Amino acid sequence: MTPPLYQRRLGVHVLWRWTRETPDAAKRARGALSCALDQLGYRGEAVVDAVLAASELIANALDHAPGPYEMRLRFTTADLICEVVDRDPCIPAVPAFPATAPFEPESERRGGGIDALLEVLSERGRGLHIVNQLTCGAWGFASHKREGVKVAWIVVAES
């Protein structure tokens, strides 16, 4: 029996590296993530949501940041995190998002609404709103200025 390509070991595992010149880069990155999640036992909606959310982060990296790019899985004691790395350490301005459910306590609401989102992201961008919905708000950015990179990340929901 062949062991899974990605086992649930703490740490970071690179899934895919690409540049702007890589043919079908976004499609291939999505395929690598889908395959890795399958090998880890994730199924159904968890895979679909993670791949779609990651696809939005990939598109943003390709549209707004220099490469090369990298997709990684980070295993923590509590979560599986998918990361998309680019070579722009600047974190984009991100609007506050509306609460995902009207019954959330006020202290957990993010506010802002769709108008604030559209104002910041202009006519094109609704991708971060999609990421926010698919991940129930479990996403973000981290800047590593010393290395000259930015990491966009999502938490992959349990299947």
- Give me the CATH number covering residue 96: 3.30.565.10
Claim: this prediction has a pTM higher than 0.85: no
Q: Tens digit of pLDDT for each residue in 18-54?
A: 999 999 999 999 999 999 999 999 999 999 999 999 9
- Residue 151 in any domain: the answer is yes
User: Taking a C-beta distance cutoff of 8 angstroms, is the pair 51, 33 a contact?
Assistant: yes
Average per-residue pLDDT in the chain? 82
Q: Does the pLDDT value for residue 117 go beyond 60?
A: no
Cα angle 23, 80, 97; round to 5:
85
Domain assignment present for residue 2? The answer is no
Tokens 């982060």 belong to residue: 57
Q: Using one digit for the tens of pLDDT, what is the confidence trace for 87-107?
A: 999 888 776 665 544 444 444
Asked whether residue 1 is assigned to any structural domain, the reply reads no
| HSE toward the beta carbon, residue 18, CA cutoff 13 A | 22
